[in-house]
Amino acid sequence: MRKITYVFCWTLWGIGGSVFAQTGMNTTTPKATLEVVAGQSISAENGVLIPRTTGLDLVSNDAQYTAEQDGTMIFVTEAVPTASMTSKTSEITKRGMYVYHHRPYERWIPSVSGKTSVTANKVFVMINCEATRLMTANTEAIRWNPNFEGVNKNLVRLVGNTEVVLPPFRTLKIQGMIPIGYGAGTEANKKVASSLRSDLLLVSGGADARVYSSTPGFARSSNYNRNNQGGATPAMMIIYTGSAGATIKANATREGTLRTNIAGGIAHNTIGSYLIIEEI
């Protein structure tokens, strides 16, 4: 009954003209639209507890969040599974506080972490190559180690050991360093410098997936006679993965039929072959 009376009084007050008010909790002199002051006399557990929900609950209510909900804050207790992500929930990759930004993103953005989502998760994932191996064909797909590194490594997976499956609704910059590795061979083999071209390729994706830019990488081995002429430049790709996600792979092409080793993981004698995937 008390609650009904309170609402009714405010309604009567508003009939005569506009109401200008600030609300205070545990204070009679609020200094903003809403001020909450800690008070041990009411509860020892000070703080503001906002609504909590799971990522899947947000997905099921996706259409309810429009321009009128711009600025809504919520605490997500469980991340959205990759297979269930929508454009609005694509940033909900872990437990935490999120704010709905209708403009310009139309997306839930991580908040109250001290960093924006871009700087907090700048390195999306790093993938290292398997062991160094001798090429048996002029062009071969790079074989990757499934033990990924990075804060969002759970969002990326391998098909076989050559194809990398990327999550949906992401604009990514992918850098692939594919140098020539040191391997066994005759003295004559080791004295012949070889070169290697690397390419990042889109294997599959939905109709809205886009490769904005893709440039090849190059590597050249040193040899016993001129050991300062070796080196490598990375292959690069900028891709939007679209609503269905996208699958990529890296190919290496050797110079003619020259004996060539693809470098494996990082070792004392090589920087190793790897992919670095960054969200932009």
Q: Mind listing the pLDDT tens digit for each residue in 185-222?
A: 666 665 566 889 999 999 999 999 999 999 999 988 76
Q: Which pLDDT tens digit goes with each residue over 30-45?
A: 888 788 888 766 667 7
Q: What is the pTM of this model?
A: 0.66
CATH 2.40.10.10 for domain 123-279: no
Q: pLDDT exceeding 90 applies to what percent of the chain?
A: 36
pLDDT, residue 192, reads 64
pLDDT, residue 128, reads 87
Q: What's 77's DSSP letter?
A: S
pLDDT, residue 227, reads 43
pLDDT, residue 271, reads 73
Question: Hunting for tokens 């704010």 — which residue is that?
Answer: 99
Residue-range domain boundaries for the chain: 45-117, 123-279
Question: Hunting for tokens 């991340």 — which residue is that?
Answer: 79
- Contacts of 222 by beta carbon, 8 Å cutoff, 6+ apart: 193, 228, 229, 230
Q: Which residues of the chain have pLDDT under 50?
A: 1-19, 113-120, 224-229
pLDDT, residue 19, reads 47
**Which of 85, 76, 81, 139 shows the shortest CA–CA distance to 110?**
76
For the chain, the C-alpha Rg in angstroms (whole number) is: 28
